[in-house]
Structure 1
Amino acid sequence: MRADRLVSLVLLLRRHGQLSAATLARELEVSTRTVLRDIEALSAAGVPVYAERGRHGGFALLPGFQTELTGLNHDEALALLVAGSRRGAQVFGLGSSLASAMLKVVDALPESYRQTAAGAAERLLIDPEIDLLSRRAVEEELPDAVVAEVRRAVFAGHRLRIHYEAKGQAAEWRTVDPIGLVTVREQGYLLAKKAGEDRTYRLSRILAAEELDEPAQRPDRVDLDRAWQERSTRFRTGGDQVAVVLRMHPARREELVGTALAVLAEELDDGWLRMEVTFQDSRHAEWALWQLSTSAEALEPQWLRAALRDRAAAVAARYSQ
């Protein structure tokens, strides 16, 4: 296992140039002390790793260092085959490319790995099209030409002109500086800047796209995971959101948390949970509480209690005969 970790450490440095011990530890899922020991082992083996000291320092390989690290172990081959079953690549218009890459990877494997890895992959199913209730996943309509143009601009670092149709608004042309692409629950998003401000665009709402020759005004490096978390936080705490105080049965808690934007407060009171949560808008709040039926009761605001009462009365009247 240590040999695999040392190979991964070298590959990380080759890919990113310079990384801190803390970042390497996080990527390799080990302690920083283990990373430092591995760096010493690589140096002793003749791998030219050097340290940059200071606040923005870290470890890097000497420029021009090359090594052949093309072998795959069984678990790595299995991981690639499993990745090929995920539909995230479809969101970015890379489905056919991924399928082709999987064929090349499998063909390049030694015969023993090829058989065992392929057999193991048959035992795993990731994100099937339907769940246990036969509900199909909602797939977005993403024209390949549009997604390809967006993807090229992201990778080339060029500005992008998009014809974007925001929810409830007429489509209009916008010029943005693309940062990266994110897929969440099979929905694709473009992270970008517009006039220096962070913007997030749903790929399915981009009707047309044009890569421009101008360089994008963006940082050379980006932490997409952190950028997404920051935008997610801003989304949950801004706009026309609705705060709701409710009491509910603990058994339905995860169902509520799965649809609410944020949980602001929570305490157990006489066997029931008293919670304060936020929803995207009034319609979202009413829908979420209605799904919980008698397992939850909205305490505030009063308009939500009235809306749920009127909806229940209308349903009761329909079935009264």
Structure 2
Amino acid sequence: MKSSRLVSILLLLQTRGRMTAAQLAEELEVSVRTVYRDVEALGAAGVPLYGDAGHAGGYRLLDGYRTRLTGLTADEAEALFLSGAPGPAAQLGLGPVLAAAQLKVRAALPSALRVHADRISGRFHLDAPGWYTDADPIPHLPAVADAVWNGRVLHVTYRRWREPTDVRRRWEPYGLVLKAGRWYVVAGPGPRTYRVDQILELAVGDEEFARPEAFDLAAWWAGYQRDFHDRLYRSRARVRIAPGVRLTGPADAAVRAHGRTDADGWTVAEVPVESLDHAHGEFLRLGADVEVLDPPELRERIARTATELARRYGEP
């Protein structure tokens, strides 16, 4: 809707400063011609908006002009309060800040939207960590977050899984990611990914660093996850699965995408596996509801385990 788009232009210019018509069009997913018409409408409504020509030109608001927080729809107000996860904010040391910000936003909302926001807060609760896992202590998380925000170099003692386990590292922290209840820091040079809960010692240096302008944390993390899964699932196994039985993760996706049903009603599919050791445990978990057809070494290993189980449980 045009009214919503006009508010979006105001908020974009208010938060980002000068923007060209092409940049606004890309952000709003409209044509440049539409942006021109919207800017004219804002000017006619008395908004102090100016356009500068030339290479460094663009649209900007008069210095000091601020629009009040209006134009929120009910869905937007609900989403705003749903996005405020108190657990992660508290871990970052921002719990009181988040509460204060939500209080201010709530006070600025019209009464109808305030009811919607309160309904969301009372009916939805976000709990990021998985089941059956205790939260690991992350005492250094606030310091890492502060270094990310202020562009400070970190000197850390970090515990990794391979020898030597405890290593000293110099990090240029580009960003933090919360994945399945666990915090990761993406840091240069590289960049590379590290678990924040594996930091043993941390010192914030006086040295500052320049975060690469082209670095996009969300895009980099998406690529990192793709590469991680490609490295993790390098082996394949061909299996038969009983009716109604579901595998998990990438294996389940492979079955649903490429599985075929045989004459007995079982599903035959080729699935990705991490390793023979991991696949051995995962397929044994399903008991007689899965049969490994290939590779032969995995099938033989499961057969030996099944024979040993039958012998052990057959003893008086």
Task: Name 1:243's counterpart in structure 2.
Answer: 235
- The answer to whether the 8 Å contact 2:91/2:142 transfers is no
What are structure 2's unaligned runs of at least 5 residues? Answer: 44-48
For the structure 1 residues 236 and 121, does the alpha-carbon distance in structure 2 shift closer, same or farther, using more than 3 Å as the test? same
Distance 1:289 1:263 in 2: 15
- The answer to whether the 8 Å contact 2:255/2:269 transfers is no
Distance 1:318 1:51 in 2: 84
> By how many angstroms is 1:219 displaced?
0.7
| Corresponding letter in the other structure for 1:225 | A
- The answer to whether the 8 Å contact 2:138/2:197 transfers is yes
Partner secondary structure for residue 284 of structure 1: helix
- The answer to whether the 8 Å contact 2:158/2:167 transfers is yes
For the structure 1 residues 177 and 51, does the alpha-carbon distance in structure 2 shift closer, same or farther, using more than 3 Å as the test? farther
What are structure 1's unaligned runs of at least 5 residues? Answer: 26-30
Partner secondary structure for residue 126 of structure 2: coil
> By how many angstroms is 1:282 displaced?
4.0
User: Equivalences for 1:28-43 in 2 at 5 Å?
Assistant: 31-33=29-31, 37-43=34-40
- The answer to whether the 8 Å contact 2:156/2:168 transfers is yes
* RMSD value, Cα: 3.7
User: Equivalences for 1:38-117 in 2 at 5 Å?
Assistant: 38-46=35-43, 47-48=49-50, 61-62=59-60, 66-71=65-70, 72-85=72-85, 87-117=87-117
- The answer to whether the 8 Å contact 2:239/2:292 transfers is yes
Quick one: percent identity of the two aligned structures? 27
> By how many angstroms is 1:129 displaced?
7.0
Distance 1:278 1:21 in 2: 46
> By how many angstroms is 1:187 displaced?
1.2
TM-score normalised by length of structure 2: 0.76
2:205 to 206, 212, 229: 212
> By how many angstroms is 1:68 displaced?
1.3
| Corresponding letter in the other structure for 1:61 | Y
> By how many angstroms is 1:120 displaced?
4.0
Q: Does 1:310 align with 2:304?
A: yes
- The answer to whether the 8 Å contact 1:263/1:275 transfers is yes
Distance 1:95 1:318 in 2: 55
Partner secondary structure for residue 37 of structure 2: helix
Distance 1:128 1:201 in 2: 19
> By how many angstroms is 1:151 displaced?
0.8
> By how many angstroms is 1:226 displaced?
0.9
Q: Does 1:256 align with 2:279?
A: no
For the structure 1 residues 245 and 154, does the alpha-carbon distance in structure 2 shift closer, same or farther, using more than 3 Å as the test? same
Distance 1:23 1:86 in 2: 33
Partner secondary structure for residue 238 of structure 1: helix
Distance 2:302 2:51 in 1: 64
Distance 2:97 2:42 in 1: 37
> By how many angstroms is 1:126 displaced?
3.3
Partner secondary structure for residue 122 of structure 1: helix
User: Equivalences for 1:159-238 in 2 at 5 Å?
Assistant: 159-169=153-163, 170-194=165-189, 197-238=190-231
Partner secondary structure for residue 235 of structure 2: strand
1:27-70, CA deviations, whole angstroms, 9 ceiling, x for partnerless residues? xxxx544x7524531343224467988xxx9x953376543142
Distance 2:52 2:287 in 1: 62
Moved more, 13-22 or 224-233: 13-22
1:155 to 146, 149, 152: 149
Larger radius of gyration: 2
- The answer to whether the 8 Å contact 1:266/1:275 transfers is no
| Corresponding letter in the other structure for 1:311 | T
Distance 2:5 2:100 in 1: 28
